Structure 1
Amino acid sequence: MSESAPVVEMTGISIAFPPVQALESVDFRLYPGEVCSLLGENGAGKSTLIKALTGVYPIDSGRIVVAGHDVSFDGPAQAQAAGISTVYQEVNLLPNLTVAENIMLGRERRSWSGIDWRAMRRHAGELLRDLNLDIDPGSLLGSHSLAVQQLVSIARAIDVRAKVLVLDEPTSSLDAGEVEELFRVIRSLKESGVAILFVSHFLDQVYEISDRLTVLRNGRLVGNYRTDELLRIELVHKMIGKEIAVLDQIERRTQSAAGEAEDEAGPLVRAIGLGRRGSIEPVDLDVYEGEVVGLAGLLGSGRTELGRILAGVDTADSGELRVNGRQRRFRSPRKALRERIAYSSENRRAEGIVADLSVRDNIVLALQSDRGWFRRIPRRRQDELAASYIEALNIRPADPDALIRNLSGGNQQKVLLARWLATAPRLLVLDEPTRGIDVGAKAEIQRLVADLAANGMSVIFISAELEEVLRLSHRVAILRDRRKIADLVNHDLGVSDVLAVIADGNTPEEVPA
């Protein structure tokens, strides 16, 4: 691998977004026929380095060589023409077009009469079959799940026959089976000589698919390592620059409190046969004050759908919801917020941040909406709120005027948490709050959830990572095929216990203690 010349060689790359130095003299190499994972905390400079390579950001200093030629891309189109194709974490295709149209966008097949739609669908179908994805190329992309849309995005990237394929968190919306299919495709591309830059916060996946690791911290290169020569704990230390026992501390604190959240006053929130046709089968669920209830299940199990109904994002068409014993019917998130139930979406780009607003504006957005736009929150109060949450949640950069679109994913997530905490919720519904963020930021958010519960706030915690759900939750509701199949108190539950329920539908009594 290292005996051949690198297909990408970046030397002394520096980029600044004053007052932040995003990259400082970073070197990076990528060889044909290898998978190299780029790792680091949120804000380490991973996305900036990728955007420098793909022409999104100009570099302040340094040199980029692709396939032996010095390059200076003015945009992603030039990078793609040079053989560099990118699939980002957030699907950036067009949901109102068909699958085939998205795959072939900008490269449409044509005949004497115009676009050859049949040829486009046929070609797209062949690509999808290579991914073992059995969907109609003529169907609307928006009719499919995020996981399918991500695979379509990868199919589009593969179709340009790139020398370099950049995969930025490509598995964040995929289940285990879909990840395995993606990895099969990656290995096939690797064997054909494609160089693959892989970015993921799932360390198991990094170690499974990568030949080499490049670690960044605070905009600087920490080092390059062969995957089989670096232990995982050593990798974590290099990423965060310090020893970390935070996750173990959170787990011990949370499990020691398991089962103690229920009180004689009854549940804070009680769902009785709550459901929505085509979304989630009727569910019974109690949430007590100061309790973290985890929603566990595979992709498509109904985790998100249940969270959205409880928080009024989607309207239930069966059952009832009681808050402090009083029946409530939420027809909008605003109605739920007035009962001090807040929801943080898994899709932070589309349903969370407002990219063109500042950190301050994003933090006060929910409070301002509740007051109405004609009763503006005084600027002094806005500054106080922003400053307090920036400090409390360690948001970086610590600049309330910074545009949120320029923050790392982990810091954007912290701003969203600040927005909902500012409303003083009694129940906080968190849907994938740590998806796509680094180990350090993940630990900070998990510690915050544990602290909130210890201080009396109720939390519904939704995550595809079972270890994370079990670490934080006092109780775990398990869903499969869009219905709840078990509700378990977390007395030292293991991942195997939960998987047994998901796989076999065992009742709680049948699950090993």
Structure 2
Amino acid sequence: MDNSVILTMRHINMMFPGVKALSNVDFSLKQGEIHALMGENGAGKSTLIKVLTGVHVMDSGEIRMSGIDHPIINHSPEEAQEQGISTVYQEVNLCPNISVSENIFIGRQPITRFGAIRWGEMNKRSKEVLANVGLDKIDVTKPLGDYSVAIQQMVAIARAVDIKCKVLILDEPTSSLDEHEVKKLFSVMNQLKEKGVGIIFVTHFLEQVYEICDSITVLRNGELVGMYEISELPRVQLVAKMLGHDFDDLAEIRNTEKQCSVEDEKNVIVKAVGLSHTGTIQPFDITLCKGEVVGLTGLLGSGRSELARALYGADHADKGTLYFKGKLLKAHVPLDSMKQGMAFLPEDRKAESIISDLSVRENMIIALQAKTGVFKLLPISKQNELTEKFIKALKIKTPSTETLVKQLSGGNQQKVILGRWLITNPDFLILDEPTRGIDVGTKTEIQKLIIKLSQSGMTVMFISSEIDEMLRTVNRLCILRDGKKQGELENNHLDRQEVMAAIAGGK
């Protein structure tokens, strides 16, 4: 084993019922290296990480760490941590109800000989630990949940570093961060790199990979495609390797120009006048026409999701009026909106959409069943017919309709939820970050689907943090800032710079 290599995984195999998740996969990590682990959802990234961290025990293969003269097999995350392997997940796996200090030292608190926690010492040491990741102004006595997701992630990283990790795994750490927070995270990653920590960076953001990483390992369908130095793999080639073929579909996607004729009342599907929700979104006007894709853009916290939730009734509007298909709509609960022909895919898939212990069929059929009524149960034959139709239409990779949805990859879970709403055949579909955290191929399929749905006459509201994605997909962009709709831009020949200027408060 090369002296600079701190982790080597060889011939890793992992089988789940009916699925070969990993097949003869190799991976290696050097000291002081930031190494991207890339691949579509379902490529095997999560499984490889879980094998390394002791969540799964591999069927066969070998794992070696520098300084240990024999192969290791981790049977639990605790065992992995003892070997110097720590993980920070997208959903921070710390305790929000206890203090920052307690989270950093949980399970290893300094205690007196009588068993009491030495709070003064623990708080002091916590401040020193946090100072190493640029959080020297944090009040360590406050509950962790009082702080943003970005700070919670930094606390998790600080804890991992303090327990002397050799390998730090960052699993989609930037998905919920704004640009400033991402830069701060990258600064900390570079500091850790200088100290010799090897970092495995799992992400779907190609720009970030080329900004921060030294090397890339690509997996596809549970197999190793290859390991590359960042300088040797242009972005187009990376995407091609992830997808298994040359891929230029993103460049070809472009919604045709479509003007909204608000004078023709028959053409208007949604019309909001002075609609607002106290504390989240200021009064706004918006009109959406049949077959139009309207995007909402702005920085995190600008009010994008809040505007969409007010339209759908997920947050009950306390002012203003809403007309849907020409009629006044008073939606007291989301089910009222659904019955009228609206559908809403929320931003937080895991918390608000996926019912993990139900099957793919049950997850996909639940909205239509709610719309139909609990006393008019859909026959199983009809449920299977609809589920199989949309599994095929959305190219969902699942062993069967009865597979538990939690066993699918993130991208396929997203497709299941999208299928849930398409089954209801809505007139107005709200998609809040439908492509966040999923692979390039699935992302492209969803963008194409949005355009196809609009061409068939469906009205779509599309929220995304990726401006380029919006420009490919929407007909109009609504700019939001600080909970207020600032204006609209027709997407005729807009470019990224114009949109950024509008978001920032320019023309």
TM over 0.5: same fold? yes
2:136 is the alignment partner of 1:170: no
In structure 1, distance between residues paired with 2:174 and 2:283: 30
| Partner residue in 1 for 2:43 | 44
Tell me the secondary structure at the aligned position of residue 284 of structure 1.
strand
2:239 is the alignment partner of 1:236: yes
Deviation at 1:128, TM superposition (A): 4.2
Q: Give the one of 113, 116, 130 matched to 1:114.
A: 116
Q: Give the one of 189, 192, 195 matched to 1:189.
A: 192
8 A contact 1:20–1:397 mirrored in 2: no
In structure 2, distance between residues paired with 1:148 and 1:139: 13
2:344 is the alignment partner of 1:338: no
In structure 1, distance between residues paired with 2:148 and 2:282: 18
Deviation at 1:125, TM superposition (A): 4.1
Deviation at 1:301, TM superposition (A): 1.3
C-alpha distance 147-473 of structure 1, shift in aligned 2 (>3 A) = farther
| Partner residue in 2 for 1:72 | 73
C-alpha distance 345-122 of structure 1, shift in aligned 2 (>3 A) = farther
8 A contact 2:134–2:188 mirrored in 1: no
Counterpart of 2:264, as a letter, is E
Range with greater deviation from structure 2 (493-502 or 62-71): 62-71
8 A contact 2:257–2:491 mirrored in 1: no
C-alpha distance 283-35 of structure 1, shift in aligned 2 (>3 A) = same
Structure 2-normalised TM-score?
Answer: 0.94
Tell me the secondary structure at the aligned position of residue 115 of structure 1.
coil
| Partner residue in 2 for 1:14 | 13
Tell me the secondary structure at the aligned position of residue 268 of structure 1.
strand
| Partner residue in 2 for 1:435 | 436
In structure 2, distance between residues paired with 1:345 and 1:92: 22
8 A contact 2:262–2:287 mirrored in 1: no
In structure 1, distance between residues paired with 2:391 and 2:315: 31
| Partner residue in 2 for 1:273 | 274
Q: What percent identity do the matched residue pairs reach?
A: 49
Tell me the secondary structure at the aligned position of residue 62 of structure 1.
strand
| Partner residue in 2 for 1:259 | 259
Counterpart of 1:52, as a letter, is V
> Paired residues, what number?
502
| Partner residue in 2 for 1:380 | 381
Counterpart of 1:264, as a letter, is D
Range with greater deviation from structure 2 (491-500 or 68-77): 68-77
Deviation at 1:273, TM superposition (A): 1.9
Alignment deviations for residues 257-308 of structure 1 (CA, whole Å, 9 cap, x no partner): 2425767125211222222222122222212111111111111111122122
| Partner residue in 1 for 2:55 | 56
Deviation at 1:309, TM superposition (A): 1.7
8 A contact 1:297–1:480 mirrored in 2: yes
Deviation at 1:393, TM superposition (A): 0.4
Deviation at 1:436, TM superposition (A): 0.8
Structure 1-normalised TM-score?
Answer: 0.93
Q: Structure 2: state its 5+ residue gaps.
A: none
Tell me the secondary structure at the aligned position of residue 268 of structure 2.
coil
Alignment deviations for residues 383-425 of structure 1 (CA, whole Å, 9 cap, x no partner): 1111111101000124111111111110010001001111111
Tell me the secondary structure at the aligned position of residue 63 of structure 2.
strand
Alignment deviations for residues 205-225 of structure 1 (CA, whole Å, 9 cap, x no partner): 001111110011111101111
8 A contact 1:262–1:289 mirrored in 2: no
1:138-149 matches, within 5 Å, as 138-149=141-152
C-alpha distance 62-370 of structure 1, shift in aligned 2 (>3 A) = same
In structure 2, distance between residues paired with 1:263 and 1:393: 35
In structure 1, distance between residues paired with 2:239 and 2:400: 28
| Partner residue in 2 for 1:212 | 215
In structure 1, distance between residues paired with 2:128 and 2:268: 53
C-alpha distance 395-176 of structure 1, shift in aligned 2 (>3 A) = same
Deviation at 1:113, TM superposition (A): 6.5
C-alpha distance 390-261 of structure 1, shift in aligned 2 (>3 A) = farther
| Partner residue in 2 for 1:320 | 321
In structure 2, distance between residues paired with 1:276 and 1:147: 26
8 A contact 1:150–1:173 mirrored in 2: no
In structure 1, distance between residues paired with 2:225 and 2:238: 10
Alignment deviations for residues 165-202 of structure 1 (CA, whole Å, 9 cap, x no partner): 00111000011110000000000001101000001111
In structure 1, distance between residues paired with 2:318 and 2:105: 40
What is the RMSD of the two structures over their aligned residues, measured on CA atoms? 2.0
Counterpart of 1:424, as a letter, is N
Counterpart of 1:183, as a letter, is F
Alignment deviations for residues 319-364 of structure 1 (CA, whole Å, 9 cap, x no partner): 2222123222333222221122111122111111111111111111
Counterpart of 1:18, as a letter, is P
C-alpha distance 161-62 of structure 1, shift in aligned 2 (>3 A) = same
Tell me the secondary structure at the aligned position of residue 175 of structure 2.
coil
In structure 2, distance between residues paired with 1:308 and 1:455: 24
C-alpha distance 218-54 of structure 1, shift in aligned 2 (>3 A) = same
Range with greater deviation from structure 2 (128-137 or 330-339): 128-137
8 A contact 2:274–2:284 mirrored in 1: yes
| Partner residue in 2 for 1:247 | 250
| Partner residue in 2 for 1:158 | 161
Counterpart of 2:57, as a letter, is P
8 A contact 1:314–1:331 mirrored in 2: no
In structure 1, distance between residues paired with 2:200 and 2:99: 28
In structure 2, distance between residues paired with 1:127 and 1:151: 11
8 A contact 1:261–1:290 mirrored in 2: no
Range with greater deviation from structure 2 (492-501 or 125-134): 125-134
8 A contact 2:55–2:75 mirrored in 1: yes
Deviation at 1:31, TM superposition (A): 1.0
8 A contact 2:236–2:247 mirrored in 1: no
C-alpha distance 164-270 of structure 1, shift in aligned 2 (>3 A) = same
In structure 1, distance between residues paired with 2:369 and 2:199: 45
Counterpart of 1:380, as a letter, is S
Deviation at 1:143, TM superposition (A): 4.2
In structure 1, distance between residues paired with 2:125 and 2:339: 51
Range with greater deviation from structure 2 (151-160 or 224-233): 151-160
Tell me the secondary structure at the aligned position of residue 23 of structure 1.
strand
| Partner residue in 2 for 1:4 | 3
